[in-house]
Structure 1
Amino acid sequence: MTEILPEVSDGELRKIEMPGDKTFTLTIETHDKDTCTLKLEGVEHLRCNNLLLGNVIFDVQKIEAPNLSDLARVTSMENAVSEKGRDYLSDLRAAVQKGELTFLRLESSYGCHLDALCRSYTTG
């Protein structure tokens, strides 16, 4: 696991943009009242649960070796019992380990949990 954007710890999410072109951008206000962005490119899967007003961000992590339950959650395949479903999740894990896909996680003080599987990301 690698923490990206360490400056957003204790920051607040200010804007989410999903223009429909497989990009996803978060604008975050830091504790020092600066703003920064995290832009995901080539989003394959994204899951955001319990987004609540007042969520304070703990961290944004790059997970280099996600387990199958991480991948099942982001793909909404928690109950995948078929061999084809398990193979798909294994293929995603291999793609992350090869660097073809990136698995990112945002954790907040309460409620919000965001996982994303994308081709690349930029910060600014």
Structure 2
Amino acid sequence: MRNVDFSVVHDAQLLKIELRNNYVELLFKLVDETVFIVILDGIERMLCNSFKEGNTILSADVINDSSKCSILLNKLFELNEAEKNENPTYLLKIKEKINSQELVVFHLSPSYGCELIALCKRVVTG
């Protein structure tokens, strides 16, 4: 995966989330009115909360280091406090896959509206 500068989506609007067979397409309208598409390919798991009219993006990040995404993974898998402390085996395997670049975490943080956390094989722009 090439490095993508996701700073362009700061203050953009998330207009559409389209679920396909094994991928998700996100459509953004940037501040300059251009359209920016992000494809989350090979979706393993996704959490999307509070999609609203006028979704405004604070930041978007691709995380490929498990030490930097533990809180997001806890949220994605809806772990309770006991599970967070146990470090379930399946979560340890997912962290290994993140560290070996088999999977990445995509995080869309809102200024207003939708927060999205996705565990997928790759993130591409189109």
Q: TM-score, normalised by structure 1?
A: 0.85
1:8 corresponds to: 9
1:99 corresponds to: 101
1:40 corresponds to: 40
Number of residue pairs aligned between Structure 1 and Structure 2: 121
Structure 2, unmatched stretches of 5+, are: none
Q: Is the 8 A contact 2:57 2:108 kept in 1?
A: yes
Following TM superposition, the consecutive aligned residue runs of length 4 or more in structure 1 with deviations greater than 4 angstroms are: 82-85
Shift of 1:61: 0.3
Alignment of 1:1-124 (within 5 A): 4-19=5-20, 21-66=21-66, 67-76=69-78, 78-79=79-80, 81=83, 86-124=88-126
Deviation digits for residues 67-110 of structure 1, max 9, x if unmatched? 4332121123x126399971111111111111000111001103
Shift of 1:113: 1.2
Quickly say closer, same or farther: Cα 1:32–1:81, change in 2 above 3 A: same
Give the percent of matched residue pairs that are identical in Structure 1 and Structure 2.
29
Give 2:105's aligned amino acid: F
Instruction: Report the RMSD for the aligned CA atoms in angstroms.
Output: 2.3
Structure 1, unmatched stretches of 5+, are: none
